[in-house]
Amino acid sequence: MVEIPVSSVDRIIRRGGEGRVSKSAIRALQKELEEYGVSIAKLAWEFAKYAGKKTLEKKDIELALKKVKVEK
């Protein structure tokens, strides 16, 4: 399931350097970004539910990002 458009991933890659970018490189980063995003969202939902909230908020995402960064 692809959610992030190829054109957006292509722009992200091009910000990191100059030159040509293959479709396979774009697809590889696209897959990783989506998997990373879903894992952050799942963790953020766990924090929100633990706090008794029904709405995911910015601070839940920030907390999930901090936890992931610490574990790496």
For the domain that residue 23 is a member of, what is the CATH number?
1.10.20.10
In this predicted structure, the answer to whether residue 72 has a pLDDT above a threshold of 60 is no
- Cβ–Cβ < 8 Å for 50, 26: no
Look up residue 62 and give its two tokens.
Answer: 């920030």
In a domain, 18, yes or no: yes
In this predicted structure, the answer to whether residue 62 has a pLDDT above a threshold of 70 is yes
Residue reference for tokens 């879903």: 38
- How deeply is 63 buried, as exposed, middle or buried, from its count of CB atoms within 10 A (0-12, 13-18, 19+)? middle
In a domain, 10, yes or no: yes
Domain carrying residue 67 = 6-71
Characterise 19 by phi-psi region: left (phi > 0), alpha (psi -120 to 50), beta (else): left
The model's pTM: 0.82
Taking the C-alpha atoms of residue 67 and residue 48, their distance in angstroms, rounded to an integer, is: 14
Q: What is the pLDDT of residues 15-31, one digit of tens each?
A: 999 889 999 999 999 99
In a domain, 38, yes or no: yes
Q: Is 65 helix (H, G, I), strand (E, B) or coil?
A: helix
Number of domains in the chain: 1
In a domain, 39, yes or no: yes
